[in-house]
């Protein structure tokens, strides 16, 4: 079963899934850091999801963790209104997205672990941005989102240890946002020492954060999923480069380890006036993958079978 904000869904019913998006981020510290991280119009977010559904989309992983603009109630509302299944995230983001007095800095490892388990098993917090988390709703997260930065501080060690323990207890996957100049292989070693199986790990953004293809292959060889989302993100590279990165992995035998998405912000959502829109992969990028010579069954792995496998409860 896959846990969505509207309840459990059989893995076989998930449908076409983009595995790392942002559908709702409220006003607050994150939006003050970067204005494109304000996605807070329910009608526009619903319209975007409806466009995605009309193009063939069935589900989306929303990668916004608690305490930095996530609103579980709004995710539930726009999922119900659009008919698109949404898998929500607990966990933590990059530290710059939290103000200095945020609870995430003072919580002990046990408190963090308990919070993550609560959101996965009982209900997500609805008051955790500017207040100490207390109130919950009857809707649960389906994965743990984390963020690996260039510096691995004692706070990062505490956060990752808590996340690993929560993932181990609940059987939910642990997703890692990877920053440039960080050490994803070292983190993989750390998480495996915490007892996590590599096939419960998802490492994101390697297509823009890690240039060395050897690192991609090393992680995939262990059984870790790689989520590629530098599609139509031309400040990093063009789609031809992205095709090179993605197509190299099936050639190396790792087609069952690949997930894909857009990692959209406000300025990339069509309903908010941006480009390319949440339906870009379905309408434009998949035809490009097929033109490159990938078989349809391989492309379907990226968007149907691999997400259904990794987001299923272990």
Report the CATH number at residue 110: 3.20.20.140
Domain that holds residue 148: 2-310
Q: Which pLDDT score, from 0 to 100, does residue 130 have? A: 81
Number of separate domains in the chain: 1
Q: Which pLDDT score, from 0 to 100, does residue 313 have? A: 85
Q: Which pLDDT score, from 0 to 100, does residue 129 have? A: 87
CA dist., res. 259 & res. 299, Å (int): 10
Of 286, 296, 272, 252, the closest CA to residue 36 belongs to 272
pTM of the predicted model as reported, rounded to 2 decimal places: 0.97
Q: Which pLDDT score, from 0 to 100, does residue 73 have? A: 96
Q: Which pLDDT score, from 0 to 100, does residue 177 have? A: 98
Q: Which pLDDT score, from 0 to 100, does residue 126 have? A: 93
Q: Which pLDDT score, from 0 to 100, does residue 233 have? A: 96
Q: Which residues of the chain have pLDDT under 70?
A: none
How long is the chain? 314
Angle in degrees, 0-180, between the axes of helices 154-170 and 184-193, rounded to the nearest 10: 50
Q: Which pLDDT score, from 0 to 100, does residue 215 have? A: 98
Of 76, 12, 87, the closest CA to residue 45 belongs to 76
């Amino acid at each position: 079963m896959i846990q969505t904000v509207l309840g459990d869904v059989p893995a076989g019913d998930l449908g076409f899934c983009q595995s790392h998006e942002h559908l709702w981020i409220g006003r607050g510290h994150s939006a003050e850091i970067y204005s494109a991280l304000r996605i807070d119009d329910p009608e526009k977010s619903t319209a975007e999801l409806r466009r995605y559904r009309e193009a063939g989309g069935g589900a989306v992983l929303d990668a916004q963790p608690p305490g930095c603009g996530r609103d579980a109630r709004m995710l539930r509302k726009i999922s119900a209104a659009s008919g698109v299944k949404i898998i929500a995230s607990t966990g933590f983001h990059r530290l710059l997205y939290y103000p200095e007095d945020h609870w995430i800095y003072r919580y002990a490892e046990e408190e963090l672990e308990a919070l993550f388990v609560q959101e996965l098993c009982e209900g997500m917090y609805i008051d955790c941005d500017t207040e100490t988390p207390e109130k919950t709703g009857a809707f649960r997260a389906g994965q743990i989102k984390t963020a690996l930065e260039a510096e691995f501080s004692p706070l990062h060690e505490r956060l990752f240890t808590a996340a690993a323990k929560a993932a181990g207890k609940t059987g939910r996957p642990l997703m890692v946002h990877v920053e440039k100049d960080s050490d994803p292989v070292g983190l993989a070693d750390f998480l495996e020492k915490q007892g996590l199986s590599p096939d419960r790990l998802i490492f994101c953004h390697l297509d823009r954060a890690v240039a060395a293809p050897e690192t991609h292959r090393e992680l995939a060889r262990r059984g870790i999923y790689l989520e590629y989302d530098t599609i139509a993100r031309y400040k990093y590279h063009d789609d031809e480069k992205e095709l090179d990165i993605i197509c190299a992995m099936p050639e190396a035998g790792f087609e069952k380890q690949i997930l894909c998405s857009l990692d959209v912000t406000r300025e990339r959502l069509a309903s908010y006036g941006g480009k390319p829109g949440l339906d870009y992969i379905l309408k434009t990028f998949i035809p490009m993958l097929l033109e490159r010579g990938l078989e349809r069954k391989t492309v379907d792995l990226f968007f149907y079978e691999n997400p259904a496998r990794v987001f299923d409860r272990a």
